[in-house]
Amino acid sequence: MNNTGKNRHEEIMNQFCQLKVLVIGDLVMDIYLKGNSFRLSPEGPVPVVTIADREEIPGGAANAAINLKALGAQVSFLAIAGEDKDGDKACTFMENAGIDCNAIVREPLRTTVTKTRLISNGQLISRFDCGSQNPPSAESEQKIFEFLKANYSLFDAVVLGDYKAGLFTPALIDFLQQMQQQSPAYLALDSKNLPLFTPLRPSVVKPNYVEAIGLLNLQSLSKNRLEQLKNYGPVLYRLTGAEHITLTLDEDGCLIFEQGEYIHHTPAHVVENPHVVGAGDTFISTFTLAQCSGASSAEAAELATAAATVAIRKTTTAPCFLNELKAFFSTQDKYVPGAKELEELCRFYHQQGKNVVFTNGCFDILHSGHVSYLNQSKNYGDVLIVGLNNDESIRRLKGSTRPINELADRIYVLSGLTSIDHIVPFGSVNDDTPSALIRAAKPQYYIKGGDYNLQNLPEAKVVEEVGGKVAFIPLVPDHSTTNMIKRINEDAQLAKVI
Give me the active site residues, please.
Answer: 281
- Pair 192, 211: CB distance under 8 Å: yes
Q: Where are the beta strands (DSSP E) in 230-341?
A: 244-248, 254-258, 261-266
What is the per-residue DSSP string for 425-459?
EE--SS--SSHHHHHHH--SEEEEETT--GGG-TT
Is omega for the bond preceding 267 within 30 degrees of 0, making it cis?
A: no
Buried b (16+ CB within 10 A) or exposed e, 183-207: eebbbbbbbeebeebbebebbbbbb
Radius of gyration of the chain (CA): 28
Buried b (16+ CB within 10 A) or exposed e, 134-156: ebbeeebbeebbebbeebbeebb
Pairing of strands 47-60, 27-40: antiparallel
- CA distances, 383 to each of 235, 348, 375, 378, 419 (Å): 46, 12, 12, 7, 9
- Pair 52, 68: CB distance under 8 Å: no
